[in-house]
Amino acid sequence: MELFIKFNIGSFTELSCRISLLALLCVMSFSSTDAYDALDPSGNITIKWDIMSWTSDGYIATLSILNFQKYRHIEAPGWKLGWTWAKSEVIWSMLGGQTVEQGDCSKFKGDIPHCCKKKPTVVDLLPAAPYTQRMANCCRGGVLSSWVQDPANALSSFQLTVGQAGTSNKTVRAPKDFTLKTPGPGYTCGPTQFVKPSKFKTPDRRRVTQALMSWQVSCTYSQFLAQKTPTCCVSLSSFYSETIVNCPACTCGCQNKVPHPAAGTCVGSVSSYLASALAIPSKINSYTPVVHCTSHMCPIRVHWHVKQNYKEYWRVKITITNFNYKMNYTQWNLVVQHPNFNHLTETFSFNYKPIIPYGLINDTAMLWGIKYYNDWLMQAGPDGFVQSELLFRKGKSFTFDKGWAFPQRIYFNGDVCVMPPPDQYPNLPNGSSSGIASLLGLLKLPILSLLLIFFSAP
């Protein structure tokens, strides 16, 4: 018997090691650049490079950055676009944008180029930029809205005059190795592709003009590249259970026990180190979060509360809480997947639009704030939350049993939030005991009748 136990323990240990190794191999074989999103399978950011006219030593081009992602946008401080020149090109001048560095232009004796770097990086101009430096669809500080939320502001453009580049379709060369940062990593850009020249309508819409030459680059997002840890988590509660299911512990990291917190750690709301922590420059960038100390350590928590049950309807309350002391989330959005969204009746204080990537299946909703009311999710503190309620009509599949009333998946600003384990979801009161009580209630009258007959018999 002892040998049998030892053998099973050894077999179990060996099996655990094999499973762990298999999991590690799966993680290693999974490409971190795989940016497929099941809810937005064709979502991408497209960069169009249109040559509009030739100059004595190059050309004038308009670059457009188009965000075709349904619910993923770019917040402040905005996008940074980079590439590598194919030859020894320089940028003489720009409108609607600027390079972050000029580079070494010492070989030029007369006019000095705007940028001489082999690998320039361009940023958008700020809204207060002078009128003489502006052009259409520029100067928003690099902020790009998502395609569903605000398609009019999902486009950014700038113009550049390129020198030492060739002056015809045969001599000009397309730039390569495009990079897109927002401001950190996350996007991977594909190769430059030649496409049909873009066409443009004149302001009076009576004439169509055409670019002399056009290139296109597609960039896709991967949450695995953007950050090492999750950025949001989900907690659950319901009216029919006293259980409140919090975000899993250490979802986005564990509390730093160092007494003097550095940038990127957690602090308490009344901590004497809060001001100093916010003032310390981050090792990575100034947008590394400084979060309020919690068990989950996530910058964002989404709470789903099943609030009320009616005869033909049921109601849910959603609360989004910001625990990040260094970030106001502008134009935030939430994507929620639940089978009852095909019977959504009303949303209170949130905008709503269905996301239907696969035809007739309407089980996903995009929610975002109302402009000038709650479209800003303020930094951690008394005002660092937004909330709303959803009213659903009960469908044929409606039930409160087995966690059906809770969402299957939640995204915040395009990133997947960590859900609690399903076995921890709030449960209905034990139905078995009530079923037995009902059965006893049905049997009570016949039993009493039999007892009366028995004792009344002569």
Give the domains, in start order, of the chain with CATH numbers: 44-225 (2.60.40.290), 229-268+288-424 (2.60.40.290)
Quote the tokens at residue 43: 């979502």
**Which pLDDT score, from 0 to 100, does residue 254 have?**
86
Scan for tokens 């859900």, then name that residue: 419
> How many CB atoms lie under 10 A from the CB of residue 141?
17
**pLDDT level of residue 449 (50, 70, 90 thresholds):** very low
CA distance 265 to 257: 9
Confidence of residue 228 (pLDDT cuts 50, 70, 90): confident
Provide mean pLDDT across the span 383-408. Answer: 94
Lowest-confidence segment of 202-216, 249-263, 349-363 by average pLDDT: 249-263
Q: Which residues contact 184 (CB under 8 A, 6 or more apart)?
A: 226, 227, 284, 285, 287
Using DSSP, state whether 295 is helix, strand or coil.
coil
Task: Reply yes or no: is the peptide bond before residue 77 cis, omega within 30 of 0.
Answer: yes
pLDDT given for residue 199 in this prediction: 95
Instruction: List the one residue out of 290, 218, 212 whose CA is nearest residue 256.
Output: 290
Look at residues 306, 364, 360, 356 and name the one whose alpha carbon lies nearest to residue 334.
364
The owner of tokens 């009213």 is 391
Chain Cα centroid distance, residue 20: 29
For the chain, what is the mean pLDDT? 84
Spatial CB neighbours of 409, under 8 Å, sequence gap ≥ 6: 335, 336, 337, 416, 419
Report residue 252: phi and psi, to 5°: -110, 10
- Percent of the chain whose pLDDT exceeds 90: 65
For the cut 80, the answer to whether the pLDDT of residue 435 exceeds it is no
For the chain, the first-to-last Cα distance in angstroms comes to: 64
Radius of gyration of the chain (CA): 29
Question: Residue 387 CB: number of other CB atoms within 10 A?
Answer: 15
Q: What is the token pair recorded at 1?
A: 């018997």
Measured CA to CA, the distance from residue 444 to residue 439 in angstroms comes to 9
Q: How much is the pTM?
A: 0.81
Are 116 and 105 within 8 A, CB to CB? yes
Q: Is 279 helix (H, G, I), strand (E, B) or coil?
A: helix
How far apart are the C-alpha atoms of 197 and 213, rounded to whole Å? 5
Instruction: Quote the tokens at residue 334.
Output: 């939430």
Neighbours of 175 (CB within 10 A): 20
Listed in sequence order, the DSSP H helices in 39-175 are none
Band (360; pLDDT cuts 50, 70, 90): confident
- pLDDT, one tens digit per residue, over 244-258 is 999 999 999 887 644
Tell me: pLDDT of 142 over 60: yes
